[in-house]
Amino acid sequence: MLRSINQLDPDIVVITGDLTENGFLAEYDGVKKFVDRIECKDKVLVPGNHDSKNAGYLHFEDLFENRFSNKNFGGVTVVGVDSSQPDINEGHLGRENYGWIKEAFTGENFKVFALHHHLVPIPLSGRENTVLVDAGDVLDLLNRCKVNLVLCGHCHIPYVWKLNNMLVVNAGTFCSSKTRGKITQCFNLIQADNENSYGNWNVRVSRVFPQGNLELVTETVM
C-alpha cells in the first residue's frame, strides 16, 4: 500500500483514522514511523474514536500537531476535525466549531472536509449508530459552504454518496486486517482538476487495491 501511494506521488494525503487500536503511545510511535514513509509533504490527519481512547488524543497532538486543522495547499482547502470523544465510540462535532469552519471555507478553492465518523449511513455497516450525533447540522453547514468533498472513515466500508453537489467518500480498511465481508484493503484516490473552459471541477474517485490496481468508482463535474 505504501508503494502504491508513493508511486502515485499525491499532492495531498488525508488520513481519517483510526490510527491505533487503543490510543497507546507504543501504537502511536508505530503509526508515526509508518506515516513518515508516505512520501508527501502535505498530509492531514484526524483522530478516530480508537485514537482518543486512554487519553490517546494527547499523543496525537504531540506527533501530528492539532486535532483540528485548516490548511490551504495551492487551490485546495482541507479542513480536518476531531469528531471523537474520549472513550466514546459515537462521533460529535459541536456547534462551537461551526463558525471557524464556515470562515475556513470562504473563497473559490476546492474544498475538502475530513473527519473520522460518518455523515450519512454506509451500507454493510450493520445497525448504524455511529453517524455524527449532529450530522444533520454539519451536512447543512458543509452544503452552505459549497464543500466539494467530504472524507470519512470509521466503518471500514469504502463507499461514495453524492449529496446535492458534494461527494461524501468513505474509506475502507487501509492496512489492518479489519476488512469487512468480501472487501479487501484499499484506499481512495481522488483526482480533481478545473482545467476545462467552464471552470468546473472534474472529480474522479477511484479505489486502489494492495497490488496497486485501480478501480474507478465515480466521475462527476461540480
Residues that bind Fe ion (CB under 5 A): 18, 48-49, 154
Note whether 130 and 122 are within 8 A (CB).
no
User: Closest separation between CB of residue 93 and Fe ion, Å?
Assistant: 15
Alpha helices by DSSP H, 37-122: 57-64, 98-104
**CB-wise, 18 or 82, nearer to Fe ion?**
18
Pairing type for strands 159-163 and 166-170 reads antiparallel
**CB-wise, 18 or 134, nearer to Fe ion?**
18
Secondary structure letter of residue 5 according to DSSP: H
Output the DSSP codes for 11-33.
S-EEE-S---SS--HHHHHHHHH
User: Closest separation between CB of residue 188 and Fe ion, Å?
Assistant: 16
Joined together, the cell numbers standing for residue 216 give 474507478
**CB-wise, 14 or 203, nearer to Fe ion?**
14
User: Closest separation between CB of residue 86 and Fe ion, Å?
Assistant: 14
User: Closest separation between CB of residue 178 and Fe ion, Å?
Assistant: 10
The angle at the Cα of 111, spanning 46 to 144, to the nearest 5 degrees, equals: 105
**CB-wise, 67 or 154, nearer to Fe ion?**
154
Q: Is 85 helix (H, G, I), strand (E, B) or coil?
A: strand
**CB-wise, 40 or 120, nearer to Fe ion?**
120
The angle at the Cα of 28, spanning 97 to 9, to the nearest 5 degrees, equals: 80
User: Closest separation between CB of residue 51 and Fe ion, Å?
Assistant: 8
